Structure 1
Amino acid sequence: MPLRLTPLEILLARLNILPLPLLDAPLAQGISKALVTACELGIFDTLDKQALPLKALAEKLECHPQGLQLLLNLLISAGYLRYRAGLYSNTRIARRWLTSGSAANVAPYVIHSPDIVAIWDHLPEVIRTNQQAMRMPYEEDVSSPEAYRLLARHYAGLAALAMALGGEVVYRVPLPPGASRLLDVGGSHAAYSVLFCRKYAELQATILDIQPGIEAGQRTAAQVQMQERLSFVCGDIVRDDFHKQFPESFDLALYFHIAHLLPAELNQQILHKVALSLKPGGVLAFVDQITDRTYGLRLSSLMVQLMHLTMTTVGGTCYQFSTVRSWLEQAGMEQVRSHRLLTPGAVLITARKKG
């Protein structure tokens, strides 16, 4: 994807004549590596300015023309580039999803993807033992340059993904009347807070996270020139009684993509503190992969199951809707609802504080 089979290839696949496993390995990995390389080189951003012949593109990218042509030809076959009248140009998919001028740019997440692939190197061990095999990047010592770069790629990728796909979540979350204070729990890159503040001019957001996450969020705030509406509080959401830190309660709290990182008892404890941070009638919005909310969609099911396996590798897991609902209800929340999203595998859950 966006690789498209010809009618003949589709027929051969349906007749089980085409060796489809070879599309997953090694073809998919080869296309993935080519795409990462293209993003790192800046091919799509360069062609976003204008279509170029091979020689001019190679000069701009400081690449050997023949070596670059091998990559360009692969990207054409994969559906990311076109070649017409001696000029290379982006396809509409590349323009929307892989150029920095697009609001839906996910190129930073593509560049981060090899770090995710590295997690899967531990799959045989995890499958044999069902035990955690490694730690998440923010659990590592970031004093080394390589660890710092890994964490920076991690946060930049997550921020890009949130900015590209988070608009639907913002649209679906019901804000209480007169809402003005948002708490983004573990919000690190602050992209979701940015999207909410863009939609609601009266909203001020507080992002609570550990120091590396705060630094990533501050970079986001500077990039979108929203420093005056985003504030940052350094803290440990697991260990700290953060609900006692704030002089005023919040109208809305976000708990996005945190649950899969933590065991059930810690999620329950954190969500209790989140609920205590809300005003009566305040809204808690929860986003994650929910194992029994794939709605019969193959892509959603694939994304959730792959996330479940990946999170087990790093000590996390994915949960059912009934589990999340019980956490929220025990924390004093009511009107717990799940909302189907277009983003494959992701589910929005909203709840309102009693009172």
Structure 2
Amino acid sequence: MPITIPGAERSLTGPDNAVPAFMFDMLSAWGFRAITLAFRTGVLAALAEEELTAEQVAGKTGLDPRGTAFLLDCLDCVGYVRATGDRYVVTDTTRELLPMISVGIPYFEKIVFTDWANLEGRLRGELTLPFGPDQPRTPRWLAKEWRVFQDGMVALTNMNVDEILERVPVPDPSGHLLDLGGGYGLYSIALCRRYPQLRATVFEIPEMRRLAERAIAENGMTDRIDFRAGDFFTDDLGSTSMALLFNVIHSKSAAQNRELVARTAAALRPGGSLVLLDQFPAPELGPIGRSFGAMMALSMFNSVGQQTYPLDEVRDWLTDAGLVEVEFQPVRSAPGNGLFLARKPGR
């Protein structure tokens, strides 16, 4: 929310913005709700096409004209649109964001508003989850909102995929990539596009087959990327020169993650690499990044009984699995995210 605080209002935050600013936090919550609503109702998409009045926006979106005017004024305040007289248009930054994150808006609304409506009950122990912390969640339970979740992952992938491609080493450009919990397979698609001889397998629950295979086909990768349905705790993972564990560990217990990392390491060929992407409540990610990681931990506790993990704990899983050259790198394009890179000895 790009608001510059003038001198007259800095007393609200104390010297050097060093104390909690309750009213600013309330403003941020209101702002996020207004922004996601503007994405979901098509307000921002309409203003990306042309400069419009509030009444014209209301006509295009079917919203109340008076309420639309108030919404647009809020969006102008937080920097998502720019007002000139009685007409509005999206800012350049918003125009760039629209294709990246529009698909994920229902997911972002769900984790912030819908899911957290249950948070007090979870903290008080009045609401319980339909599974134990070390039990796999059944596809039937997940399937209720699985598409919303995966669309959120698409939006997050759109934000960081270019940086990921630059940071992820591919030990054998003509080898095989195993994408565990790979969703639509977007990272596999991007890596195979960059490395024309690379082949990949997206390993996911059966309910993802139709969506993943459609994405693979739409990107012209059916001859190089296959989908495999299964359980990566019990099924044979085969042999691969490279494995991705992206956005998986925060939905699993520590014991499950230790086992999963060990099984993945065992599937690597000598010299192969494991790349792990997740959110971390780590000071190394800076104050904003650490805040995202901490909020994600609370969110995962609330929704699936799990958490984000300290860097040292994840590093121990990797080294205990026999991997070497373990390295952590912050992902700057997605605050709170970081990459662990590790290699299997040999060759």
TM bin, normalised by shorter chain, reads 0.7 to 0.9
Percent identity reads 29
When normalised by structure 1's length, the TM-score is 0.85
Match of 1:78 in 2: 78
Is the partner of 2:13 in helix, strand or coil? helix
- Per-residue deviation, residues 153-194 of structure 1 (Å, max 9, x unmatched): 111011111122122122111111444311100111222212
Aligned to 1:22: 23
Query: Structure 2: which amino acid aligns with 1:353?
Result: K
**Contact between 2:55 and 2:69, CA under 8 Å: does it hold in 1?**
no
What residue in structure 2 maps to residue 151 of structure 1?
146
Please say if residues 252 and 306 of structure 2, whose CA atoms lie closer than 8 Å, have aligned partners that are also in contact. Answer: yes
Which aligned pairs between 1:56-135 and structure 2 lie closer than 5 A?
A: 56-97=56-97, 99-100=98-99, 105-117=100-112, 118-129=114-125, 133=129
- Superposed CA RMSD in Å reads 2.8
Partner amino acid, structure 1, of 2:105:
V
Contact kept, 8 Å, 2:39 with 2:102, in 1: the verdict is yes
Which position in structure 2 is the counterpart of 1:308? 297
Q: Which runs of 5+ in 1 are unaligned?
A: 244-248
* Aligned residue among 269, 277, 294 for 2:267: 277
Secondary structure, aligned partner of 1:242: coil
Residue 68 (structure 1) shift: 1.7
Report the alpha carbon displacement of residue 132 of structure 1 after superposing the two structures with TM: 6.0
Distance in 1 (CA, whole Å) between partners of 2:55 and 2:217 is 37
Distance change >3 Å, CA 326–CA 288, structure 1 → 2: same
Over 3 Å counting, the alpha-carbon distance change for 1:180 and 1:22 in structure 2 is: same
What secondary structure does 2:52 align onto?
Answer: coil
**Inter-CA distance 87–327: structure 2 relative to 1 (3 Å threshold):** same
The 5-angstrom pairing of residues 202-351 of structure 1 reads: 202-243=197-238, 249-291=239-281, 293-295=282-284, 297-313=286-302, 314-342=304-332, 343-351=334-342
Superposed, 1:178-189 pairs within 5 Å as 178-189=173-184
C-alpha distance in 1, partners of 2:289/2:39? 26
Cα distance change of structure 1 residues 198 and 4 upon mapping to structure 2, 3 Å threshold = farther
How many angstroms apart in 2 are the aligned matches of 1:19 and 1:294? Answer: 18
Q: d(CA) in 1 for partners of 2:41 and 2:200?
A: 35
The size of the alignment, in residue pairs, is: 338
Per the alignment, residue 161 of structure 1 pairs with 156
CA distance in 2, matches of 1:339, 1:130: 39
Aligned CA distance change for structure 1 residues 290 and 70 (closer, same or farther; 3 Å): closer
SS in 2 for 1:106: helix
Within 2, Cα distance between the matches of 1:224 and 1:20? 46
Partner Cα separation in structure 1 for residue 312 and residue 194 of structure 2: 31
What is the alpha-carbon distance in structure 2 between the residues aligned to residue 134 and residue 309 of structure 1? 18
215 and 2 in structure 1: CA distance in 2 versus 1, 3 angstrom threshold: farther
Q: Is contact 2:40-2:105 (8 Å) kept?
A: no
**Deviation digits for residues 273-323 of structure 1 (CA, Å, limit 9, x no counterpart):** 2122222111100111234x4326211121111111222222212222232
* SS in structure 1 at match of 2:233: coil
Q: Which ranges in structure 2 are unaligned for 5 or more consecutive residues?
A: none
The alignment partner of 2:243 has SS state of: strand
Q: TM-score, normalised by structure 2?
A: 0.87
Deviation at 1:79, TM superposition (A): 1.1
Relative to structure 1, is the Cα distance of residues 68 and 336 closer, same or farther in structure 2, using a 3 angstrom cutoff? same
